[in-house]
Amino acid sequence: MRTPSGHTVYAMAAEYESATALYEAAKRVRDAGFKRWDVYSPFPIHGMDQAMGLGKSWLSAVVLCGGITGLLTAAVLEFGPSWFIYPVIVHGKPFDWRTVPAFFPIMFELTVLFSAFAAFFAVLIMNGLPRWNHPIFNWDRFSRATNDGFFLAIEARDPRFTEIEARELLESTGGQHITIVHED
């Protein structure tokens, strides 16, 4: 979709005066059946995931895999040298499976370490970050999204998107400064 001036349309966007107004608007947009849309706020708004019809984040599954990898890495790292490569009795402790309690601290630490890396990289990758630019930044009012602004944008690639319908919906939910945001 293009504007008369030849720009590609990214979204129809509106600003809301408060977190409450944005929350109520999100419920309306969700119920109107839109799928490709997002809200922007300076902080996570409690209950917004439900208001947008989003489920629980599945990032926890990635972190679980990270933790298991860490635990197995530590097990291999500790049993490998002590059992196979370099079997030596130190501190009067045996080198085989009976020494396992002495291996717990490092198993624990590597589980934590790998989980933390998994959480960090998963949050970036799942959010498509780092990202150099984004069409929403083409809207000059949007710089307030990290300060005190509350925004809602319905993307043009949503199958239900029509300019008139999107504008009407945003207007009826109390959106202000309703505007078309360009893709480029």
Partner 1 sequence: MDSASTAPGVISDEKPLARVPLVLNKRNFSWLTERISGVVEQRAPRWWWVTFTITATIATFGLFCLGYQISTGVGTWGLNHPVGWAWDITNFVFWIGIGHAGTLISAILFLLRQKWRTSINRSAEAMTLFAVMCAAIFPGIHVGRVWMAWFLAPVPNSWGVWPNFRSPLMWDVFAVSTYFTVSVLFWYTGLIPDLATLRDRATSKIKKLLFGIFAVGWRGSNRNWRHYEMAYLLLAGISTPLVLSVHSVVSFDFATSILPTWHTTIFPPYFVAGAIFGGFAMVLTLMIPARAIFKLQDIITPQHIDKMAKIILLTGSFVTYAYTMEFFMAWYSGNQYEKFAFFNRVFGPYWWYWWVGMLFCNMLSPQLFWFKWCRRNIYVVYFVCMCVNAGMWFERFIIIVGGLHRDFLPSSWGMFYPTWVDIWTFIGTLGIFTSLFLLFIRFLPMIAMSEVKIVLPEANPHHGPTADHPPLVATGKERT
Q: Which of residues 58-97 bind partner 1 (CB under 8 A)?
A: 59-60, 63, 67, 77-78, 81-82, 85-86, 90-91, 93
* Residue 20 is a binding residue for partner 1 (CB under 8 A): yes
CB of 47 to partner 1, least distance (A): 6
φ/ψ (deg, to 5) at 18: -155, 170
Q: In this complex, which beta carbon is closest to partner 1, that of residue 23 or of residue 34?
A: 23
* Residue 2 is a binding residue for partner 1 (CB under 8 A): no
Nearest-angstrom CA–CA distance, 178 and 14: 4
Nearest-angstrom CA–CA distance, 33 and 114: 39
Distance of CA 139 to the CA centre of its chain: 22
* Torsion sign (Cα): 66, 67, 71, 74: positive
Using the rule CB under 8 A, give the single segment among 3-11, 112-120, 155-163, 175-183 that binds partner 1. Answer: 112-120
Torsion of CA 116, 118, 122, 125, to 10 degrees: 110
148, 162, 171, 176: residue in contact with partner 1 (rule CB under 8 A): 148
| Location of structure tokens 């947008």 | 52
* Residue 146 is a binding residue for partner 1 (CB under 8 A): yes
Q: In this complex, which beta carbon is closest to partner 1, that of residue 2 or of residue 47?
A: 47
CB of 58 to partner 1, least distance (A): 8
